[in-house]
Homo-oligomer: A and B are copies of this chain.
Amino acid sequence: MDSALVLDGQGELWVREGRRVRAGERVAVGTTEDGSEGIFVHTQAFLGEGAEGGEFKFMTSEVSREKPIDYVLMAQLLLEERDRGGYPVWVTGPALVHSRARADMVWFIQNGFVGALLAGNAVAVHDIEAAMYGTTLGMTNNGVASAGGHGIHMRAINQIRAVGSIAGAVRQGLITNGIMHALVERSVPFVLTGSIRDDGPLPDVITDAVQGQDTMREHATRASMAIFVATALHAIGTGNMLPAFVMEDPETGRPTSRPRGSSPAEWPRLREMATICVDSSEFVVSKLKDRGTHQAFGVVTNAQDFMHILRLYVERALIERERAPRRDSVPSAVTP
């Protein structure tokens, strides 16, 4: 959205950030959205026939802690993504590690539900502190602040800096459990981007924001689903890079891309990208929408509880699936 539409010499359209547009390139410049200046914005693409009617309605606010949370649907979306070889991108904040959701995140990684993890220095630091010392920021997993505990994460950081990388520390047996361990073991890519409040930082952290964005974008543009948990900065950063849709092979449902120079008849099928945003307050989801990620589906809850229940529902669905005769049909497009 914060980019320019550029038409190249071969007739291909590109979405390019302002700093990548070069003098002489052909850029779409209209400001109206009704086609009168050559640009038509098709806003109804993913909307079914809405049940708009009726002025007198309660409970119409978009994001609210009073809305029920449909874990059955979210579990089904995750399973379908795995079935069709999707690329679900998770973006998480450190509250996930402070609370007891760490084990649940590991479970999702180990069971193939994570295409990539985008996070900051703190997620990795707290996770590695927990792996090495059993605390996060010196707090035990009972929520008790331990005396002297404020320095523990620095010891963890120092050890990883001495080795040179998180993957190296996993290989040397320094890190034997947790999120970063699972990512390395399962070869799931992760991107850690830096911020001005980081301690350390860890050697894997990309401290340059522009380089960090570029690396995140490689995953955001491949994403077929997005899950944001307890993070404002990284959720909005990633949200700005996410397409609103996924291209999928109409036969297999597998995410794909449009072959260059293909005719419309050959184009992949589009579906809206399922985007889940979990936060303790309505504010982050509203802010995400204000910054342009309209399709975000907001869950106002605690990160620990969200992860725990979501895993439970995925596990239940897996058990039911084992009991039931296997569907061999292609999963249909899902509109959350």
A: which residues have CB within 8 A of B?
1-2, 18-19, 31-34, 41, 43, 51, 53-61, 64-70, 94-95, 98-100, 137-139, 141-151, 154, 157-158, 161, 193-201, 205, 207-213, 216, 232-234, 236-237, 240, 280-283, 286-287, 289-292, 300-306, 308-309, 312
Contact = CB atoms under 8 A, between A and B. Distances in A.
Given A59-B139, A61-B286, A68-B139, 12 more contacts: A19-B161, A31-B147, A57-B138, A59-B290, A61-B290, A65-B95, A65-B303, A68-B304, A69-B304, A196-B234, A208-B208, A232-B232
Contacts of A56: 1, 33, 41, 148, 150-151, 292
Nearest to A282: B282
Nearest to A100: B68
Given A196-B213, A233-B197, A305-B305, A41 B55 contact: yes
| Chain A interface, >50% SS class | loop
Contacts of A64: 283, 286-287, 290
Given A66-B99, A68-B142, A290-B60, A209 B201 contact: yes
A150 B1 contact: yes
Contacts of A212: 196
Contact of A199 (B2, B147, B158, B216): B2
B137 A58 contact: yes
Between A56, A70, A139, A148, the greatest number of chain B beta carbons within 10 A of the residue's beta carbon is seen for: A56
B61 A289 contact: yes
Contacts of A300: 280, 302
A44 B18 CA distance: 41
Contact of A282 (B237, B283, B303): B283
